[in-house]
Chains A and B, each alone.
Chain A
Amino acid sequence: MLGWEFPPFISGGLGTACYGLTKAMDEMGVHVTFVLPKMVDGQYATHVNLLDTTCTRRSVAPSFKVGELKNVEFRTIESPLEPYGTPEAYQQRIEETIRQKKLAHGTASESLPVTGSDYGSDMHNEVHRYAALCVELAKNEQFDIVHAHDWMTYPAGIAVATITGRPLVIHVHSTEFDRSGEHVNQMIYDIERQGMQRADKIIAVSHFTRSIIISRYGICGDKVEVVHNGVEQNGAAELTLADTGIRSDEKIVLFLGRITMQKGPEYFLYAAKKVLEVMSNVKFVMAGSGDMMHRAIELAAELGIGNKVLFTGFLRGQDVQKIYKMADLYVMPSVSEPFGIAPLEALGNDVPVIISKQSGVSEVLIHALKVDFWDVDEIANKIVAVLKYPPLQMTLKHHGNFEVRRLRWKDSAEKCARIYEETLVAV
């Protein structure tokens, strides 16, 4: 399996999904070698405990295991830190890096530290370097199938599949249209389309995404299967309202996610404005960060509801649990959401949800309120209804919590395994 992020390295749903799926496959006894393009360190350690990361083999990538996953081996490929040059020069550098590593393995400290964000400016090169290293790595590995998650790993998937003759399954967790609306990055779109064309099978996380793959990328529907995500079942932590600055008689409506165009933060704020016209004891919490955060803060001020909207920044681990404990309602007004695991987590924490119809998760949830992301009046209407009519909140909570328990990664993993089998037979 070729991935880009994995807990504890996460910036969004992709890492969570890869973790859930891999864990369920591990329980089924499927052997997975999970290749990550990052050097993993433990500073963000959450629920995954990393074992000793000493290398077991002299190869391009160090190998390690994660405690709870018996059948999964992780391989990491270090990111290089040169500013990018021409593709030719870059190619040479990769080769040199590989050569150096082979010569002097274990002296990784000589290379420069990672700079920039996960989604850095030289990503294009990283993607291709990752592909080259994966090919190197694949030469010494035994596997039946290549499973690549999202566009960053498609070139690697194509390369490995081509060289080894193994079938390629690509897993589409999101597309460029979800992330950027109509302002697509042509380079990324091309990589995505190439991956989709080359793949033997495409797994889409929802029918919503499947239809984008078919209509926007011109892919034949026959090879696109839908495997919905599951949700991790973990008991809600025992936390109390403390030091939050929110009075207990105030209702809390939560937005949790990256504050980007894709997630529709402005619709949340417009709806908040309308709700506050008819109710006053409500606070709106926006948990997350993103490139629209400043715009969102300004907008809240412009709407005159600045004192009613709280921004928490990016939350992890315990803080996420805590915010769910406090919330009366979770709203996901996404403009385009391939799946959306967060509402499932909210329901798992007994928080009823309002989700946009433009999301994959609305295909699997019955016990959720559904709205068009642009229909601000209706979002506000539903927010007020949940806060005002306790039986509604209660019924949504109870049925939703029950429903979420039926969405298991086990089922997703079984579907993937069936797709593997079909693909192997076909090839």
Chain B
Amino acid sequence: MPSVCFYFQVHQPLRLRHYTVFDSNHQYFDDFKNGSVCRKVANKCYLPANRLILDLIRKFDGQFKVAYSVTGVLLEQLQRYSPEVLSTFDALAETGCVEFLGETYYHSLSFLYSRNEFVAQISKHSEIINHLFGHTPKVFRNTELIYNNELAALIEAMGQFDAIITEGADHILGDRSPNFVYQPRNCNHLKLLLKNYSLSDDIAFRFSNRDWPEWPLTAEKFARWISNVNGNGNVVNLFMDYETFGEHQWEDTGIFNFVRHLPDKILEHPDNDFKTPSEVIESYNPVDAVDVPHIISWADTERDLSAWLGNAMQSSAIHELYRLERQIKNTDDPKIISDWRRLQASDHFYYMCTKYFADGDVHKYFNPYDSPYDSYINFMNVLDNLQSRCSGALNAGESGNPPQSIEPISLQAIV
């Protein structure tokens, strides 16, 4: 009896404005572009998709359920540019059929570079979700589904979460199926939910591809594939970007009609149902432990970090950024700290990716820059300015009132 578990990633980066070495003001982000993209995506995707999901939840009287992970940077943008989307999310939250997941507020790669910062961003994110939707996240997903044993141990130690979500990569599963609940190796309490990338990508990437032998994908066909899991799995985890609906797959591909008919077709089979991630881990026991000593992610064919840290520019940019952590925090200047945190979004590093070959098309689609080199130059110019602001603030602090150094949230305290 497979349960279908939908989780949608909802995120838009804060894009930088064109910032040259000759610029010196502190306005790093392109408000105009971010506003127009946010409004565009809201109209093409977030609003119609939220309304559709809300209709389906009402129509099936609580039998249709989904989960969202909405980043803090997007929530800020929605508040500013498209508050009506927030009210539809609020309406979804009130149905009780929607779960909100926890992640880093800034969609950052901080897990890899600063555990203090990582934990601080998760807490900040949980706060805003609680504030907006009255719901404390119990299931964690890391940026880009980046995961390893260490992450699981850290999340378990935080005590807030019951489960963690990551990619059902072939090389960690071997001959095991992603359609079961697992447990991270060396964890006692935490469960692991793995993305069924094949069925997820059928919707997210292949839905409108006319060269795909299964095109056109209908709700009947997809429900049949789900039912086929019967007897060989408990749960099908369909994890994807929310922008799949209306933005990556445009409305005229029939994606909304597909979703509209899907619950009906899936529920036709009496053994099938929909569950949120928290319900999944309550319903099913873990069947095995999964050992992930090396980092995985959901990106590209390699399922590794190379999309963000694959070349010298990417690693230098991110190292320089995190190298500033102490200095930045010592300024105690909320504007400086917030700018620094906004620069941590994984998107900035993704734009610098030079792997054009296998995944070039996907990379280009999401890239506001003409080339990875342009994005690196822009990022470094901004970082340079931030650094000089930071030194300026610290020097001013030394000569005047000493700034109150903020105590970084101690990992030891949590553990």
Residues on A lying within 8 angstroms of B by beta carbon are 274, 277-278, 366-367, 369-370, 377-378, 380-382, 384-385, 388-392, 394-396, 399
**Given A278-B21, A367-B354, A381-B22, does the pair A392, B377 have CB atoms closer than 8 Å?**
yes
**Given A377-B20, A378-B20, does the pair A391, B374 have CB atoms closer than 8 Å?**
no
* Choice from B21, B313, B356, B374 contacting A395 with Cβ under 8 Å: B313
A369 closest partner in B (C-beta) = B373
A386 closest partner in B (C-beta) = B377
C-beta contact mask, B10-39 vs A, less than 8 Å → 1, else 0? 000000000011100000000000000000
A352 closest partner in B (C-beta) = B373
Distance in angstroms from A331 CB to nearest chain B CB is: 14
* Choice from A366, A389, A395 contacting B311 with Cβ under 8 Å: A395
Cβ B380 vs Cβ A385 within 8 A: yes
User: B residues within 8 A CB of A274?
Assistant: 22
Known: A369-B373, A380-B22, A385-B377. 5 other contacts (CB 8 A): A380-B21, A382-B377, A389-B380, A392-B377, A399-B354
C-beta contact mask, B302-341 vs A, less than 8 Å → 1, else 0? 0000000001110111000000000000000000000000
Cβ A391 vs Cβ B371 within 8 A: no
Cβ A389 vs Cβ B22 within 8 A: no
| CB-defined A-B contacts under 8 Å, sample of 13 | A278-B22, A369-B371, A369-B373, A369-B377, A370-B371, A389-B316, A391-B311, A391-B315, A391-B317, A392-B373, A392-B377, A394-B312, A395-B376
In whole angstroms, how far apart are the Cα atoms of A390 and B311 in the complex? 13
Cβ B377 vs Cβ A381 within 8 A: yes
C-beta contact mask, B345-380 vs A, less than 8 Å → 1, else 0? 000000000101000000000000011011011001
In whole angstroms, how far apart are the Cα atoms of A380 and B381 in the complex? 13
Most buried by A among B20, B354, B373: B373
User: A residues within 8 A CB of B316?
Assistant: 389-391
**Given A366-B356, A370-B370, A381-B377, does the pair A391, B313 have CB atoms closer than 8 Å?**
yes
User: A residues within 8 A CB of B315?
Assistant: 391
B contact patch SS:
helix
In whole angstroms, how far apart are the Cα atoms of A391 and B383 in the complex? 15
Distance in angstroms from B159 CB to nearest chain A CB is: 39
A383 closest partner in B (C-beta) = B21
User: A residues within 8 A CB of B354?
Assistant: 367, 395, 399
A contact patch SS:
helix
User: B residues within 8 A CB of A389?
Assistant: 313, 316, 376-377, 380
User: B residues within 8 A CB of A384?
Assistant: 21
**Given A377-B22, A385-B21, does the pair A366, B371 have CB atoms closer than 8 Å?**
yes
User: A residues within 8 A CB of B374?
Assistant: 369
Q: Nearest 6 pairs between A and B by C-beta? A: A381-B20, A391-B316, A391-B312, A385-B377, A384-B21, A391-B313
In whole angstroms, how far apart are the Cα atoms of A366 and B372 in the complex? 10
User: A residues within 8 A CB of B377?
Assistant: 369, 381-382, 385, 389, 392
In whole angstroms, how far apart are the Cα atoms of A388 and B385 in the complex? 14
User: A residues within 8 A CB of B376?
Assistant: 385, 389, 391-392, 395
Distance in angstroms from B350 CB to nearest chain A CB is: 15
In whole angstroms, how far apart are the Cα atoms of A389 and B21 in the complex? 12
In whole angstroms, how far apart are the Cα atoms of A391 and B377 in the complex? 10
In whole angstroms, how far apart are the Cα atoms of A381 and B380 in the complex? 11
User: B residues within 8 A CB of A390?
Assistant: 316
In whole angstroms, how far apart are the Cα atoms of A291 and B231 in the complex? 82
User: A residues within 8 A CB of B313?
Assistant: 389, 391-392, 395
User: A residues within 8 A CB of B381?
Assistant: 381, 385
Distance in angstroms from B183 CB to nearest chain A CB is: 40
C-beta contact mask, B75-88 vs A, less than 8 Å → 1, else 0? 00000000000000
User: B residues within 8 A CB of A394?
Assistant: 312
B372 closest partner in A (C-beta) = A395
**Given A381-B381, A385-B380, does the pair A395, B373 have CB atoms closer than 8 Å?**
yes
User: A residues within 8 A CB of B356?
Assistant: 366
